[in-house]
């Protein structure tokens, strides 16, 4: 299982939000590029980067910093936030971003997700941010009545690389991953699922690893890494442990 450190960028800095609330921001680093280099040094194989300002604005706001991360590190990054048209998708992918995450676009423009999956197979990730089972959009500021599993099923066989599934209530709270909801989604579709939101201890990684055969391929860890509650090196070791 791939352990993926998260770098959320707001106003050019590395932050974490509590439950996606832009009024509950914690600053962790002034320089996201240096933060990315730190995670690489600690053994990361992939980094998850989100342009929080872009997610609300609907277009990239921190692209310059993101491309600087790409230039400075030796591992792939996946990028989300404000990616809602083919031009932005092409911009990031042509500048060596490994894969892009479409969230709001998936609910507002189904065609762009299908077209992107066809033009860039294996490069498009669907981001589903759920609140009590239903998807939320625009940086989690707008809730919808769309069921997360039904939404995911619409995009099966569309060339998607994975689905990042985030439980908003748990994100940034270190209260534990919503294992059951993540397993239910992964078992219901044929697209690999990356768990996100709420990792508190190494036991969360171990529990997800036990559910790996359901189709859970990785886990994104944010606040727990920044607070020191979880060591990236320990998480990576846990993620590679063979199941008995």
- Find the catalytic residue in 53, 129, 171, 204: 129
Angle at 182 between CA 99 and CA 80, to 5 degrees: 25
H or E element, residue 65 = helix 63-72
State yes or no: is 8 an active-site residue: yes
- Find the catalytic residue in 8, 51, 167, 171: 8
State yes or no: is 11 an active-site residue: no
Can you tell me the distance from the alpha carbon of 233 to that of 228, in angstroms, rounded to the nearest whole number? 11
Contact 67, 50 (CB under 8 A): no
Can you tell me the distance from the alpha carbon of 125 to that of 136, in angstroms, rounded to the nearest whole number? 16
H or E element, residue 183 = helix 179-188
Number of Cβ within 10 Å of residue 208's Cβ equals 27
Task: List residues with catalytic annotation.
Answer: 8, 129
């Amino acid at each position: 299982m791939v352990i993926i450190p998260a770098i959320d960028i707001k106003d050019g800095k590395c932050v974490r939000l509590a439950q996606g609330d832009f009024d509950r921001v914690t600053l962790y680093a002034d320089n996201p590029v240096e933060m990315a280099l730190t995670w690489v040094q600690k053994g990361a194989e992939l980094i998850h980067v989100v342009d929080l300002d872009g997610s609300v604005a609907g277009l990239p706001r921190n692209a310059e910093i993101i491309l600087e991360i790409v230039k400075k590190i030796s591992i792939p990054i996946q990028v989300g936030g404000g990616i809602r048209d083919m031009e932005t998708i092409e911009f990031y992918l042509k500048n060596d971003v490994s894969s892009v995450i479409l969230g709001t676009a998936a609910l507002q423009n189904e065609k762009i997700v299908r077209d992107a999956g066809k033009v860039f197979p294996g490069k498009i990730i669907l981001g589903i941010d759920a609140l009590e089972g239903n998807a939320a959009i625009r940086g989690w500021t707008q809730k919808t009545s769309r069921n997360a599993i039904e939404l995911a099923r619409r995009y099966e066989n569309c060339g998607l690389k994975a689905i990042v599934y985030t439980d908003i209530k748990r994100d940034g709270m270190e209260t534990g991953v919503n294992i059951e909801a993540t397993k239910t989604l992964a078992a219901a579709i044929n697209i690999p699922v990356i768990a996100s939101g709420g990792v508190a201890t190494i036991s969360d990684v171990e529990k997800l690893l036990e559910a790996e055969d359901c189709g859970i391929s990785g886990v994104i860890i944010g606040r727990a890494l920044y607070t020191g509650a979880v060591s990236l090196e320990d998480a990576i070791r846990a993620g590679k442990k063979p199941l008995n």
